[in-house]
Amino acid sequence: MVGTAFNANHLGFLLQGAGWTVALSLIAFVGGGAAAFLVALARVSPHRAVRASAGAWVQLVQGSPLLVIMFLAYFGLPTLGIKVSALAAAGVSLTVYVSAYLGEIWRAAIESVPRAQWEAAECLALSRTQRMFKVVLPQAVRLATPPTVGFMVQIVKNTSLASVVGFVELARSGQIINNSIFEPFIVYLIIAAIYFALCYPLSLWSRRLERRAGTTPTEATTRLAHDPLLAQS
């Protein structure tokens, strides 16, 4: 046996990696959230072409694994003449991934706002933009909050895939440590524990929000419950 046992230095390195995991999650949530908002709006657009292209985007992204998107960004973009760092590749792929899934969650929330609300707003002579931003979206936000928090768990977990393009977040720093001390089981158990510590509070928060929002099962919540992503959040 060469090398040393797992020590405080290693733990410090893992925590540093965890910091990057959090940073990457935030980048993915902010960037992906902005893109998802556009996707959701496009999905309920009155123009058929806009609706169809947003739908195609969602189908494309939801039909291919994040890992492949990650490889495409990291290895593929440079061959197109675009230089990307590991962080940029991971950020872009996660943004693409989040835009499709979160976009669908938010579209479901927008569509769950009762039709009568639209009609009432129309009767008050509000323009389409006013109807969307002053009447529908504020109600949709309330419906969308619990599943959105639930989806943040997915984001944190999926940042682990950035390790395959060499970005040193939590999973990758674990691999690096393991390469020097070769104690895979211990190292990965600690990594799993750190991920759990990051994700479990979000899961609990999401569940609490859900309970508070959904004491009476409305049409909206049943519809949201049929979404696979919400069922898993």
- 171-195 burial, b at 16+ Cβ within 10 Å, e below that, comes to bbbbbebbeebebeeebeebbeebb
CB 101 within 8 A of CB 59: no
Q: Tell me the per-residue interface mask from 11 to 50 with other proteins, x by CB under 8 A, - otherwise.
A: ----------------------------------------
Among 27, 35, 39, 69, binds other proteins (CB under 8 A): 69
76 near other proteins, rule: CB under 8 A: yes
- Structure token pair of residue 194: 């750190």
188 near other proteins, rule: CB under 8 A: yes
- Closer residue to other proteins, CB minimum distance, 99 or 158: 158
59 near other proteins, rule: CB under 8 A: yes
The region of 29-37, 109-117, 134-142, 151-159 touching other proteins under the rule CB under 8 A is 151-159
The region of 27-35, 68-76, 105-113, 139-147 touching other proteins under the rule CB under 8 A is 68-76
CA atoms within 13 A on the CB side of 31: 16
Q: Using CA atoms, how far apart are residues 24 and 200, in angstroms rounded to an integer? A: 18
Residue whose C-alpha is closest to residue 213's, from 156, 141, 128: 141
CA-to-CA separations, 86 to 20, 60, 164, in angstroms, rounded: 12, 23, 9
What is the amino acid identity at position 41?
Answer: L
64 near other proteins, rule: CB under 8 A: yes
65 near other proteins, rule: CB under 8 A: yes
192 near other proteins, rule: CB under 8 A: yes
Q: Using CA atoms, how far apart are residues 32 and 74, in angstroms rounded to an integer? A: 18
Residues that bind other proteins (CB under 8 A): 59-60, 62-69, 71-72, 75-77, 79-81, 153, 157-158, 160-161, 163-164, 171, 174, 184-185, 188-189, 191-192, 195-196, 199-200, 203, 225-229, 231-232
